[in-house]
Amino acid sequence: QLTKEKEDLQNTVNIASMLKADGLSVRGIAEKKGGKKEVETKKAKRTDKIKISFSLPENPVAKQGDRIIYARIISPDGKEMTQADDSSHIFTFGRSHGYWATKKTVNYINEKTEVIMYAHTKQGESFINGKYIIEVNTDGGTIGNATLELE
């Protein structure tokens, strides 16, 4: 009985310590003036990269320290966007494995932390028309989802 109660409490702590991606926003970005200026676009042919922005809210239960944030992007043709199809671009989320489109290490200190990430296509490829599905993951779990429609 006591062991079961301890397991239940540990599960509650694990759930409470999970981070969330608040205010998750994804935008198509066209670079101007050699990449010095960003302009939002909904046109696939003008998109140079996808901007993913969100905040990690204050969470006193979460452990402090470096966290690797992964963005997994499924393109309209059902493929995972990645810079390379090798094992260094694979990460684990839940009980699955997948390719990350971009990743960033964030030093989380139990305070609200703003995060901005950029995802690019492979060299020589471009964005295509349709709906992109974006998942933000850390610590083996999904902390946010969003979609982006490019025309």
pLDDT tens for 102-140 read 999 999 998 999 999 999 999 889 999 999 999 999 988
Q: Are the CB atoms for 55 and 114 separated by under 8 Å?
A: yes
Place of tokens 């944030």: 69
The mean per-residue pLDDT over the stretch 65-81 comes to: 95
Residue 9: phi, psi to the nearest 5?
-65, -40
Report the mean per-residue pLDDT for the chain: 91
Provide long-range contacts, Cβ within 8 A and 24+ apart, for 11-16.
13/61, 16/59, 16/61
Instruction: Give bridge partners of residue 64 from the DSSP assignment.
Output: none
Question: How far is 43 from 46, CA to CA, in rounded Å?
Answer: 5
pLDDT at site 145: 95
pLDDT at 17 over 70: no
The mean per-residue pLDDT over the stretch 95-99 comes to: 90
pLDDT at 62 over 90: no
Place of tokens 């909904």: 42
Q: 9-13, 57-61, 94-98 — which is least confidently predicted? A: 9-13
Full-model pTM? 0.86
